[in-house]
Amino acid sequence: MHSEGVASRSAEPRDSNRSRQHTPQLDAVSLAIIEQLQEDGRRPYAAIGKAVGLSEAAVRQRVQKLLDQGVMQIVAVTDPLTVGFRRQAMVGVNVEGDVESVADALTAMSECEYVVMTAGSFDLMVEIVCEDDDHLLEVINRRIRAVPGVRSTESFVYLKLKKQTYMWGTR
Amino acid sequence: MHSEGVASRSAEPRDSNRSRQHTPQLDAVSLAIIEQLQEDGRRPYAAIGKAVGLSEAAVRQRVQKLLDQGVMQIVAVTDPLTVGFRRQAMVGVNVEGDVESVADALTAMSECEYVVMTAGSFDLMVEIVCEDDDHLLEVINRRIRAVPGVRSTESFVYLKLKKQTYMWGTR
DNA sequence: CTTGTGGAATGCGAAATCCGCAGACTTGAG
DNA sequence: CTCAAGTCTGCGGATTTCGCATTCCACAAG
């Protein structure tokens, strides 16, 4: 089902230091808890506890810790098409000068839903979500190319979304 | 920030027909409800009701409908790095023959977290999530290139994730 | 071996939330 | 006007959440 998947990416990144350092590596139980919540973010703690073999209170503590640590977030994720965004595209960007500053500028744009620095023939990959073609055109041609340091861009307009997941650990 | 954002994409797509057809277009209240749940997927219905001006029961009914219709999902979203996936890459794929069948083959691979058919110099864009370099190499060179119809691939290894969002409507 | 300490799990009421349902309103079709 | 469908509200009863004190456990120190 779902020709248009409910969509969107994940959590907003936190500062580099925090989560990386004390990322004590999750044990099997925490993984199991996460899997439960990936199936249903509102599943009661008691039900999760029964599934993973822990008391309700223990599950609650673990979940709270996972949230505090930024290991996971429990959120509503939507289908862009349903919410009124009809055009999406991936844009590869080539930069001259400081890549990170360009990345920061793109990150500040609300239409840029996903920004990654990459190795390869593009310095940056950016996913854009727009309301219509005009909007998309304006974002790519006027806004992104106007950012100082952007040498060139190449666009890949989405024709059909085939898969979107957030099922780690579940493997 | 975030060199490791909590991560992942969104919901798995549903069949093409369902959601697209009766997607009656959400009214302002439903949008507001979604925004509330994008901030905290476990927020109590009563609190949401107070925020959007509806009774607890009404919010509950609307949320249930949004979930049933596949407009949104409430799920835990995780940071791949924390969960043990250290290498990610975007791969552009060129296809000869039927693009969709190749897309289906890639969709079936658990390491492919995101698969889109695109217009432009790639026919497909695929996001890969792996445990380490060996794993990444094997997925790209052995598995993806082994799919019948795949003419060529180009990889963009992630150096740093700068932004990930799922905040529609919130704009 | 005994003691001490920090982290995590458990048990347990009290408070808050969820859930199903019946009734009231609104709207549009016939 | 009447009927049917779709929503919203109000309301108990069942569940769940929450905070806290207690118990367990593993481990390091004495």
| pLDDT tens string A106-149 | 999 999 999 999 999 999 999 999 999 999 999 999 999 999 99
Rounded distance in angstroms from the CA atom of residue A42 to the C1' atom of nucleotide C3: 44
Q: pLDDT for B117-161, tens place per residue?
A: 999 999 999 999 999 999 999 999 999 999 999 999 999 999 999
Decide if pLDDT at A19 tops 70: no
pLDDT band per the 50, 70, 90 thresholds, residue B24: low
In a 3-state reduction of DSSP, which class is residue A42?
coil
DSSP annotation of B13 reads P
Distances (CA, A) of B147 to A38, B78, B107: 30, 29, 12
DSSP annotation of A2 reads B
Using the structure block, give the residue that is written with the tokens 């620095």: A117
| Average pLDDT, integer, range B13-30 | 58
Instruction: Tell me what pLDDT residue B7 has.
Output: 45
% of chain A residues with pLDDT over 90: 73
CA B60 to chain centre: 25
In a 3-state reduction of DSSP, which class is residue B43?
coil
Sign of the Cα torsion B77, B100, B88, A149 reads: negative
Asked if B54 and B91 touch (Cβ cutoff 8 Å), the reply is no
Window 94-123 of B: residues touching A by CB (8 A cutoff) are 100, 103-104, 106-107, 110, 112-122
Amino acid whose CA is nearest the C1' of C10: A55
Q: Which nucleotide, over all strands, has the C1' atom closest to the CA of B62?
A: D7
pTM of the model: 0.82
**Nearest-CA neighbor of A60 among A76, A75, A77, A47?**
A47
Comparing A162-166, B89-93, B109-113, B167-171, which segment has the lowest mean pLDDT? Answer: B167-171
Asked if A164 and A10 touch (Cβ cutoff 8 Å), the reply is no
Average pLDDT of chain A is: 86
Cα–Cα distance measured from residue B15 to residue B45, given in angstroms and rounded to the nearest whole number: 29
